[in-house]
Amino acid sequence: MHAHLMISQALCAWLFLCPLSAETLSFMSYNLKNFLNQERYKDGELVRSKYKPQVEIEALTQIIGAAQPDVLGVCEIGTPADLELLQARLRQQQLDYPYLEYVRAADSVRHLALLSKHPITRSQSQSSLTYQIGPQTYPLRRGLLHVQLTIADQPLHLIGVHLKSKRPTSHSDQAIMRLKEAHLIRDQIDQLLERAPQSLVLVYGDLNDTYKSPPLSALKGNYRSPLYLKPLPLRDSHGLYWTHFWESERTYSTFDYILCSQALQKYFHSGRIIDSPQVLVASDHRPLIASFEIQ
């Protein structure tokens, strides 16, 4: 009888200390490279209109289909109809995403979107955030995608961003604009984490800048702070970090990231930069995928 009691007590202790189950979530971040209709103007007149080539769309959907992510966060999607087209093409790859988030902000052409197998329990996306450079007010052009899912009975915040490109503009310095955007987004993240430091937060997207650049540093926050966001150390099959190829400049750069709050980092299981043969056909960016075992 004494032995049975000890076994029973040990079993109870094990059940108390070890979670009964964990839920796996795989997440992909992908800049789709103009999954939209690009119009070309000359002297104010439309001279040409070109959709993303079918060969690129086919490669893109095959890549996503092979990876089978539970949640897909994308940059550079066009209209809601373009998003529906992507949804339909992914169904042909045995990927059904019934839950969507789409952000329409100041940029009238390129948008942020998210497709999920899991219900979106709350949307906090913002499309009218602004920042100042001197006396001038600028919009956060792609807005801020922010949704909440429930995974293993825990709220998970997914925050999608697409910062200003390195292409020059006539009205301001592109580097300053990107840094201002990063600070603006970090302010939104701080509001969340200061209220609830143990929140599971995943920030992803095309930051259009390198690992030690000022915009990335601003977005990560203070390294010694409990509110620090850590970029996942993702590499391709050759151990390389680059995610973007700018053909006209002949440069390879790390522009795309997945960053995690400290509470989420402990659940990170594995991840990589996908470098299958179709990748350079599909987009000028390589997709990132990460898997989490959330308890």
Beta strands (DSSP E) in 142-199 are 145-151, 154-162
The pLDDT of residue 45: 66
The pLDDT of residue 46: 62
The pLDDT of residue 18: 47
Residue where the block lists tokens 């995928």:
289
Beta strands (DSSP E) in 166-266 are 200-206, 230-231, 244-246, 251-253, 256-260
Burial (CB count <10 Å: 0-12, 13-18, 19+), residue 273: buried
| Spatial distance between the Cα atoms of 257 and 205, rounded to a whole number of angstroms | 6
| Spatial distance between the Cα atoms of 218 and 259, rounded to a whole number of angstroms | 12
In angstroms, the Cα distances linking 123 to 24, 120, 167, 190, 222 are 22, 7, 31, 17, 27
pLDDT tens-place string over residues 199-255: 999 999 999 999 999 999 999 999 999 999 999 999 999 999 999 999 988 999 999
Q: What is the reported pTM?
A: 0.91
3-state DSSP percent of the chain in helix, strand and coil, to 5: 30, 35, 35
Q: Are 145 and 69 in contact (CB under 8 A)?
A: no
| Spatial distance between the Cα atoms of 106 and 226, rounded to a whole number of angstroms | 33
In the predicted model, residues of the chain with pLDDT beneath 50 are: 1, 5-7, 10-18
Question: Residue ranges of the domains in the chain?
Answer: 24-294
The pLDDT of residue 32: 98
The pLDDT of residue 84: 97
| Spatial distance between the Cα atoms of 233 and 75, rounded to a whole number of angstroms | 21
Residue where the block lists tokens 């942020």:
112
Q: Which CATH architecture has domain 24-294?
A: 4-Layer Sandwich (3.60)
The pLDDT of residue 1: 46
Q: Are 164 and 205 in contact (CB under 8 A)?
A: no
The pLDDT of residue 2: 53
Tell me 155's DSSP state.
E
Q: Which contiguous run of DSSP H or E holds residue 16?
A: helix 2-17
